[in-house]
């Protein structure tokens, strides 16, 4: 796995989380700029999914393929589902959902990195 890609995803997710916390504290709902950031993060995850699949198919190391792919897919799904679920209620709770979704991406990303490093289920 490309360490820069992981770093980029984590950094973007960090920025998104800070923005969301600020929104939560101010009790404002997420607007276009926030969703733009989320889209950028999702784009990075998409790139990572492609790079990840290519890397998995060409690596000679012991990586649990099923596990790795399921985490790539999971990371890809978290934000769209979270965004959809949060848009149904544009309140503080909706913003909270976005924060949890982004946090989920971070958790999956860290696991993804350790799975690539060779740890199992």
Binding site for another protein (CB under 8 A): 64, 66-67, 70, 74, 78, 81-82, 85-86, 88-89, 91, 93-94, 96-97, 100-101, 104, 107, 121
- Nearer to another protein by Cβ, of 3 and 25: the residue is 25
How is residue 41 written in tokens? 């993060």
Who contacts 33 (Cβ-Cβ below 8 Å, separation ≥6)? Answer: 19
From the CB of residue 113, how many other CB atoms can be counted at a distance below 10 Å?
17
The helix (H) or strand (E) run that includes residue 92 is helix 92-116
* First CA to last CA distance, the chain: 18
- Nearer to another protein by Cβ, of 2 and 110: the residue is 110
- Minimum CB separation from another protein for residue 31, in Å? 19
- Nearer to another protein by Cβ, of 35 and 85: the residue is 85
- Minimum CB separation from another protein for residue 1, in Å? 19
Question: What's the DSSP call for residue 62?
Answer: -
- Minimum CB separation from another protein for residue 4, in Å? 26
């Amino acid at each position: 796995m490309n360490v820069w890609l992981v770093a980029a995803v984590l950094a973007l997710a960090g920025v998104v989380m800070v923005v969301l916390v600020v929104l939560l504290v101010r009790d404002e709902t997420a607007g276009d700029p926030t969703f733009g950031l989320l889209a950028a993060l999702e784009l990075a995850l998409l790139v990572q999914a492609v790079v990840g699949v290519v890397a998995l198919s060409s690596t000679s190391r012991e990586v649990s393929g099923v596990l790795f792919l399921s985490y790539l897919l999971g990371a890809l799904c978290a934000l769209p589902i979270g965004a959809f679920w949060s848009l149904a209620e544009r309140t503080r709770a909706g913003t909270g959902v976005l924060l949890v979704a982004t946090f989920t991406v971070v958790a999956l990303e860290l696991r993804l990195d350790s799975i690539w490093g060779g740890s199992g289920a």
